Amino acid sequence: MSAFTAEVLGTMLLILLGDGAVAGVLLNKSKAQNAGWMVITTGWALGVAVAVYAVGRISGAHINPAVTIGLAVAGKFPWAEVPRYIAAQFLGAFLGAVLVWLAYLPHWAETADQGSKLSVFSTIPAIRRYPANLVTEIVGTFVLVLGVLAITANAAPVQAGLAPLLIGFLVWAIGLSLGAPTGYAINPARDLAPRIAHALLPIAGKGSSDWSYAWIPVIGPAVGGVVGAVVYIGLFTK
């Protein structure tokens, strides 16, 4: 398997399990309906862990453009490979969103609320204030990239084997602590590609894809990833 294919597969698994958890909680007549924020954050955390275990040995399992850019800034990934990885991540995220749509196919028509349908695919802020929303995404992704770099710096065999699980715990902690204001995209591909899927798929009564907000979960994570890498370099590599 090539690194490109691995990033497609890993990101697809992330979105399938993460957005799948959101769909289970939000869509009508799901057996998990109203299960709550803990279920959503756990679904995303386990989705990250599964994806990293699945393809980490092949591509490094970045599964997130912010992580790819952060690793390149930190000197741990070649800049020449960044566009290829990001393209794979967006493709995988789109495919994952399509699979979630298929898995919950009977539930879209049963769900009247358009916001719930969009939330399965992409993030919506709890309070729509773009500067504050941007800061939240920057802070969350800063913690993500700083944490990933710190976790993967431990090269002992046991620690290396636990790294995917620890990264999943990191994403879980971010969701529980920092995710509530914006839904914690912390990943441009995770938000934008499924948002595109929402716009293209024949979802009954889906409403708007909220393009006026779409730049926040792209720019915020990109900035946060760079800041996380710069802080890691400054604090841990001297």
- Residue 160 pLDDT: 64
What residues in the chain have per-residue pLDDT under 50? none
Structural domain boundaries, residue 35: 3-236
Report yes or no: 19 and 183 within 8 Å, Cβ to Cβ: no
Closest CA to 185 of 126, 140, 120, 118: 140
- Residue 229 pLDDT: 97
**CATH value at residue 192:** 1.20.1080.10
What does the block give as tokens for 222? 């990109």
Percent of the residues in the chain that have a pLDDT greater than 70, as a whole number: 97
Total number of domains constituting the chain: 1
Task: Record the pTM.
Answer: 0.96
- Residue 155 pLDDT: 63
How far out from the chain centre does Cα 233 lie? 24
Q: How many residues does the chain have?
A: 238
- Residue 1 pLDDT: 81
Q: List all residues 6 or more positions away from 204 whose beta carbon is below 8 Å from its beta carbon.
A: 108, 109
